Amino acid sequence: MGFLEGKAAIVTGAGQGIGQGIALALADAGASVAVVGRTGSKLRATCELIDERGGHAIPIICDVTSIEEVTSCIRQTVGQLGGVNILVNNAQSYPYGNLLDVTEEAADEAWRSGPLATWRFMRLAHPYLRGDGVIVNMSSSTTIMHDGGFYGMYSAVKSAIAALTRAAAVEWGPDAIRTLVVMPASESPALENFERERPERYAEMLSRIPLRRFGHPELDIGRAVAWACGPDARYITGSTLMLDGGQMLLR
C-alpha cells in the first residue's frame, strides 16, 4: 500500500506539465486523483496514464476562473472519490512581460486564474480537508528574484498566492489542515514556449540553476509534492518547498 492510500486529491491544471507530474506521483503513492483542467482530451490522457499504472483517477473539466465550475468540481470530487484530502492549486495563466506591456486582459486573467481561483478552491474544500488535509499552492521563484523585471505582474500574482497560503497555515492549523507553497523550476509546455520565444532569457534562467537543468515534472516535482502530502511531513506547514535545483540558494 502507498503512503497516500485512501486519500482523495484534486490537482488543477493536471492535463500537462507540472500538474500532470504531480497527479501521477500522487496516484503512484496511492491517492485517488481528480484530474482537473479545461481540455478534456488532456485530462483523459493523464487519467489513462494513471490507470495504466494501476491507479484511480477521474477527469473533471473546470475553468478555475468560474466560481460555478469550481463549486461543481468540489462536488464531483466528493461525490465520486468520497472526499477531498489533498488540494493542489496548480492552474495559472502566465502574464509575462514588462509592466507597461502586459495587457489589461492578461492581468485580469492571471489574477482570476491564480489567487482568486486558489482562494475559492481552498475555502470550498475546507470542510472536507479538516482533520488531516493538505493544501499545496504553486508559487514562483520570480517572487524573490533580485531582478524581477519582465516578471512583475506574474510575480505579483504568485506573491498573493503565497500570502494566502501563509494566512491559511495560521487560521486553519487548529483544524489540522497543513498548507504549503512550492516554488518549482520545472520542464513544462509553458517553459518550452518561453524557450522558443525568448531563448536568451531562457539560457539566462538555466545558467542560474546549479544543477544546470530544469526539473522533471513527475520525478523531481511530483514525487516531492507527494512526500510533502504524506505522513512523514506531518509537522510541516506554512513553509515553502524550493524544488528548483538550487536556483534560489538558502532562501
This prediction's pTM: 0.94
Residue 189 in this model has a pLDDT that exceeds 90 = no
What CATH number labels 8-186+217-241?
3.40.50.720
How far is residue 195's CA from residue 123's CA, in Å, rounded to a whole number? 36
pLDDT of residue 212: 93
Give the 3-state secondary structure of 32-65: EEEEEECCHHHHHHHHHHHHHCCCCEEEEECCCC
Place 1 in a pLDDT band, splitting at 50, 70 and 90: low
Delimit the domains of the chain by residue range.
8-186+217-241
**Active-site pick, 128, 154, 202, 235:** 154
Residue 235 a catalytic site member: no
Contact yes or no for 79/55 (Cβ under 8 A): no
> What is the model's pLDDT at position 205?
82
Residue 167: all three cell numbers together: 494566512
The DSSP output letter for 171 is H
Over residues 218-244, the pLDDT tens digits come to 999 999 999 999 999 999 999 999 999
- The model's pLDDT over 50-86, given as tens digits with 9 standing for 90+, comes to 999 999 999 999 999 999 999 999 999 999 999 999 9
pLDDT band at 250 (very low <50, low <70, confident <90, very high): low
Of residues 146 and 100, more confidently modeled: 100
Instruction: Determine phi and psi for 137, rounding to 5 degrees.
Output: -115, 135
Query: Could you tell me the pLDDT band of residue 145, with boundaries at 50, 70 and 90?
Result: confident
Distance CA 220, CA 186 (A): 8
